[in-house]
Amino acid sequence: MTRHTPGTTPKGGTPKKGHEPKAAQAPRQPTQGAKNQRSQQSTPDEPNVEGEGSYTATHRYNEGLQEHIQNHDVEREAEEAREALEGDERQELEQAEARGKLPAKR
């Protein structure tokens, strides 16, 4: 059984009408996102620049989290946080949360 692509005849004959090969196109200009991504990559002057999704920052965060879990009583800390939310600090904590959700100033 011989397979063929749509638009051509089974034995490599002439393409069907309307399915002629397209002419090669000029290379596309990079999008703004691609330019930004390229600008965040390392340069010879700054070999350790990582941009968003920094593996170094993720690694440091994960190490700090492990250290905190191993050296602190997280159950006690969770209980203290629950008590703060149910007590007098609730309003202050909710205001701090609201400020944290505001857009950053530029």
Q: What's the pLDDT tens digit per position in 2-54? A: 555 555 555 655 656 665 666 666 666 766 665 555 555 555 555 567 777 88
Nearest to 19 by CA among 28, 10, 29, 9: 9
With beta carbons less than 8 A apart as the criterion, state whether 81 and 87 touch. no
What gap in Å lies between CA 106 and CA 53, rounded to an integer?
A: 21
Higher local confidence (pLDDT), 21 or 103: 103
Does the residue 97 lie in any domain?
yes
With beta carbons less than 8 A apart as the criterion, state whether 46 and 40 touch. no
What gap in Å lies between CA 36 and CA 22, rounded to an integer?
A: 31
What gap in Å lies between CA 27 and CA 17, rounded to an integer?
A: 27
Does the residue 4 lie in any domain?
no
With beta carbons less than 8 A apart as the criterion, state whether 15 and 7 touch. yes
Q: pLDDT band for position 87 (50/70/90)?
A: very high
* Percent of the chain residues past pLDDT 70, beyond the cut: 54
Number of structural domains in the chain: 1
Does the residue 77 lie in any domain?
yes
Does the residue 17 lie in any domain?
no
| Residue 83: domain span | 73-101
